Amino acid sequence: MAKTKRNSDWCFRMCTQADLDAVMRLQEIVCAALEDPDLFVATDREENRTYLAAPNFILGCFDGDVLAAYCSFVVPGNTPENYAQDLGWPPEKVCAAAKLDTIVVHPAYRGNGLQRELIDRALALAAHTPGVSTVLTTVSPKNQYSLHNVQAAGFSILMRKLKYGGKERFILGRALFLPNNTETAEK
């Protein structure tokens, strides 16, 4: 597939409910292109709808009107969807943990460092979310591209666990703020 290089038409902005169709469409394209379906678990439409409502957000990278990539940031609170529950953290730490849920880049837009850029931008935006101090995410141990990018963004592996109905995942975490770029989430 021909690669699209960054140009001045690209912009990053928060997605709104009006972008939900584009989010679902991009996710379908990415799923259809997966070489291994175990690497990525899709988010259903209703869940993505809730991810578009504050304090959650979906940050998109648009090439003109076309959604090229997005990242969802979710504040799950004290619910089973919070990966801090998997880690056995106490309730106050669970409540202070948010998650980076999905990051997808359209196959034609890969190789522009968009996953890293979306993580950096999303966490900078998340700095305004009251009460959140830790960010958790999951990545398949086989997902070399995502694992590399997430670790380069300061996340550390905290646990390996079967998630999403029996798929191998690392749970990774980092502090929301990295004052000296070396602090990572407590194990």
Ligand X SMILES: CC(C)(COP(=O)(O)OP(=O)(O)OC[C@H]1O[C@@H](n2cnc3c(N)ncnc32)[C@H](O)[C@@H]1OP(=O)(O)O)[C@@H](O)C(=O)NCCC(=O)NCCS
List residues binding ligand X (CB under 6 A): 30, 39-40, 102-105, 110-115, 139, 143, 145-146, 149
Of 20 and 120, which CB lies nearer to ligand X in the complex structure?
120
User: Smallest distance, Å, CB 152 to ligand X?
Assistant: 9
Of 56 and 146, which CB lies nearer to ligand X in the complex structure?
146
Gap between the Cα atoms of 130 and 52, Å rounded: 17
Of 28 and 183, which CB lies nearer to ligand X in the complex structure?
28
Of 37 and 91, which CB lies nearer to ligand X in the complex structure?
37
User: Smallest distance, Å, CB 61 to ligand X?
Assistant: 10
Of 95 and 97, which CB lies nearer to ligand X in the complex structure?
97
Gap between the Cα atoms of 137 and 76, Å rounded: 12
User: Smallest distance, Å, CB 19 to ligand X?
Assistant: 17
User: Smallest distance, Å, CB 30 to ligand X?
Assistant: 5
Residue nearest to ligand X (CB): 111
**Helix (H) or strand (E) segment spanning residue 67:** strand 66-74
Give the pairing type, strands 57-63 and 66-74.
Answer: antiparallel
User: Smallest distance, Å, CB 155 to ligand X?
Assistant: 12
Gap between the Cα atoms of 66 and 72, Å rounded: 17
CB hemisphere CA count around 95 (13 angstroms): 4
